[in-house]
């Protein structure tokens, strides 16, 4: 088994663990780091495989996009994987959607902070001399 691992490293230039990290989990350890160029090559290769109907490749491309922070493309590829019967594609697509919805809810709950300058100007116009002290002169 070790021999296969070493042959893989020699032929591909990175360990299977580094490639898996590049495709799914985030940055690989320094000793197994996959270059940005290599990652782009893998993404192109997996995209071709996905276009050819290999759903697990769609899942890997989605993982790479997700790691890069491009959740819109990640969801598209995860959906293609899900439609092709890859359960992890379904899970990952729903996971991204859940957190996007959660972030939208949280943003909607945030109170709108009024612009202090506008408040001071309005209060000053109403005759509040203390508020007039805080009004910044317009240039």
Tokens coding 7: 């042959």
Q: Does residue 124 form part of some domain?
A: no
- Tens of pLDDT, residues 74-122: 999 999 999 999 999 999 999 999 999 998 888 877 765 667 778 888 8
Q: Hey, how many other C-beta atoms are within 10 angstroms of the C-beta on 83?
A: 13
Q: Does residue 50 form part of some domain?
A: yes
Domain that holds residue 89: 2-25+34-112
Q: Does residue 70 form part of some domain?
A: yes
Helix (H, G, I), strand (E, B) or coil at 99: helix
Quote the number of domains for the chain. 1
Backbone angles phi, psi at 17, to 5 degrees: -65, -40
Q: Does residue 62 form part of some domain?
A: yes
Q: Does residue 137 form part of some domain?
A: no
Split at pLDDT 50, 70, 90, the class of 5 is very low
For helices 36-51 and 71-83, the axis angle rounded to 10 degrees is: 40
Q: d(Cα 65, Cα 14) in Å, to the nearest integer?
A: 20
- Tens of pLDDT, residues 51-73: 999 999 999 999 999 988 999 99
Q: Does residue 127 form part of some domain?
A: no
pLDDT at 9: 47
Radius of gyration of the chain (CA): 25
Q: Does residue 138 form part of some domain?
A: no
Q: Give mean pLDDT, residues 43-57.
A: 93
Split at pLDDT 50, 70, 90, the class of 37 is confident
């Amino acid at each position: 088994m070790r021999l296969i691992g070493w042959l893989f490293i020699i032929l591909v230039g990175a360990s299977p663990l580094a490639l898996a990290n590049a495709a799914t989990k985030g940055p690989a350890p320094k000793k197994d780091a996959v270059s940005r160029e290599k990652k782009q090559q893998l993404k192109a290769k997996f995209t071709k495989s996905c276009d050819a109907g290999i759903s697990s490749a769609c899942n890997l491309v989605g993982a790479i996009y997700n790691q890069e922070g491009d959740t819109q493309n990640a969801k598209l590829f995860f959906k293609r994987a899900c439609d092709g019967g890859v359960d992890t594609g379904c899970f990952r697509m729903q996971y991204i959607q859940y957190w996007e919805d959660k972030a939208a809810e949280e943003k909607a709950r945030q109170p709108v902070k009024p612009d202090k300058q506008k408040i001071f100007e309005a209060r000053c116009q109403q005759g509040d001399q203390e508020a007039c002290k805080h009004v910044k002169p317009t240039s």
